[in-house]
């Protein structure tokens, strides 16, 4: 029975207590991939393909197209000076997942941490004078430990 209750809580299902005066189970907290209570479009992580398109909104925000109509607004760390206005941009990822607070953008000018990921309304990703987009590449980060082998 405890496994079933844990599964229901993980799925966000609350059970109504049978006994009078008993309190209801607390609602499940948002998980890493679920929206937050304050912003339903916000996400903690995002699965990214190897090639994408991007466009700078301002010095601290980027629109990232991961699919034809799948657009994400990435907020960068304050004081980011590495975001170019045009050209190629790299995004670090671990096993194909970009995580706010862990991953960063990389360009010839340096790198900036990604602070937040929010769904953006769909917009055309093809280059037009009003909304040019540029190539973006996933930079896969692999952390290895030597395991004490001395090699």
Whole-angstrom distance, CA of residue 52 vs CA of residue 133 = 10
pLDDT tens readout for residues 102-131: 999 999 989 999 999 999 986 555 544 446
For residue 55, what are the CA distances in angstroms to 13, 35, 73, 85? Answer: 39, 24, 10, 8
* Token pair in block for residue 45: 């992580």
pLDDT tens readout for residues 52-62: 999 999 889 99
Q: What string of DSSP letters covers 28-43?
A: PPP-TTSPPSS-TTEE
Mean pLDDT comparison of 25-39, 98-112, 128-142, highest-scoring range: 98-112
**What share of the chain has pLDDT > 70, as a percent?**
61
Residue with tokens 């079933």: 4
> C-alpha dihedral over 42, 52, 48, 13, to 10 degrees?
40
pLDDT at 13 over 90: no
| Phi, psi values for residue 141, rounded to 5° | -100, 125
pLDDT tens readout for residues 76-95: 998 898 999 889 999 999 99
Q: What is the pLDDT of residue 96?
A: 95
């Amino acid at each position: 029975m405890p496994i079933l209750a844990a599964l229901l809580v993980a799925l966000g299902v609350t059970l109504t207590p049978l006994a009078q005066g008993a309190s209801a189970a607390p609602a499940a907290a948002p998980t890493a991939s679920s929206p937050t209570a304050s912003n339903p479009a916000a996400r903690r992580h995002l699965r990214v393909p190897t090639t994408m398109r991007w466009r700078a909104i301002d010095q601290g925000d980027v629109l990232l197209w991961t699919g034809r109509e799948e657009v994400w607004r990435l907020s960068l760390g304050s004081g980011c000076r590495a975001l170019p206005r045009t050209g190629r941009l790299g995004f670090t990822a671990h096993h194909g997942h970009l995580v706010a607070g862990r991953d960063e953008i990389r360009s010839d000018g340096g790198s900036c941490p990604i602070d937040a990921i929010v769904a953006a309304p769909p917009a055309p990703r093809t280059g037009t004078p009003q909304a040019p987009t540029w190539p973006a590449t996933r930079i896969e980060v692999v952390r290895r430990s030597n395991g004490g082998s001395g090699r």
